[in-house]
Amino acid sequence: MNRVLLGVRGMERPEQIEKVSSAIRKLEGVQSVQPADTGQLEVEYDPHQLTVTDLIRVVREQGFLAGML
């Protein structure tokens, strides 16, 4: 498993965090998603099934900008 810290611009309220976290959790290969700091999510994932780009794509589909920190 790999871990990545994603920065998510505009994700500040609890409902926004849950919306993005839920979308990421639905991906095959995601082990866990935890809020780290304001606008940040720590994601543990299987690198044989997903890439960081896949994670960022899902965040963008939820209407937020994201990048790896």
Q: What is the pLDDT of residues 6-58, one digit of tens each?
A: 999 999 999 999 999 999 999 999 999 999 988 999 999 999 999 999 999 99
pTM for the complete prediction? Answer: 0.91
**pLDDT band, very low/low/confident/very high, at 69 (cuts 50, 70, 90):** confident
**Structural domains in the chain, sorted by start:** 2-68 (3.30.70.100)
Q: Are 16 and 51 in contact (CB under 8 A)?
A: no
